[in-house]
Amino acid sequence: MGVYTGEKMFAFLVGEDIGLKLAPEDYEQALTLPGAGPMKPDKDAEPMREYVRMPKSILDDRDSFILWVERSAGYARRKLSQTA
C-alpha cells in the first residue's frame, strides 16, 4: 500500500514494514539507524529507489516516527513542486 501527498507517494507499507522516500542526505542518515535498510516490495525484488525500510525502534517511537514521516512527505512535496 502506498501513502501519498498530492500525486507523490512518500511511504510504502508491506506487511509490518514501512518504507519512507527520503532526500539523499536523509536517506544516508536513515541507513545508519540500527535495523534500517533499503526497502523492497518483496524479498526477491530489487530495492525501491530512495526508500528506506524504517527500523522497529523508529516505528515504536512516536516522536521519531513523526519526524521521519515529515521529512519524507516534505521531500515528496518538493519533488512535486519541481515538476509542476
Question: Which set of grid coordinates corresponds to residue 39?
Answer: 526497502
- For residue 38, the cross-strand partners are 52
Per-residue confidence (pLDDT) for residue 74, from 0 to 100? 94
User: How many independent structural domains does the chain possess?
Assistant: 1
* Residue span of the structural domain in which 75 resides: 2-83
What does 32-52 look like in DSSP terms, one character per residue? TSTT-EE--SSTTSPPPTTEE
Please calculate the CA angle 52-68-51 and round it to the nearest 5 degrees.
20
Tell me the C-alpha distance between 53 and 76, whole Å. Answer: 17
Per-residue pLDDT, 7 = 84
Query: For residue range 27-68, what is the model confidence (pLDDT) as tens digits?
Result: 999 999 999 999 998 888 999 989 999 999 999 999 999 999
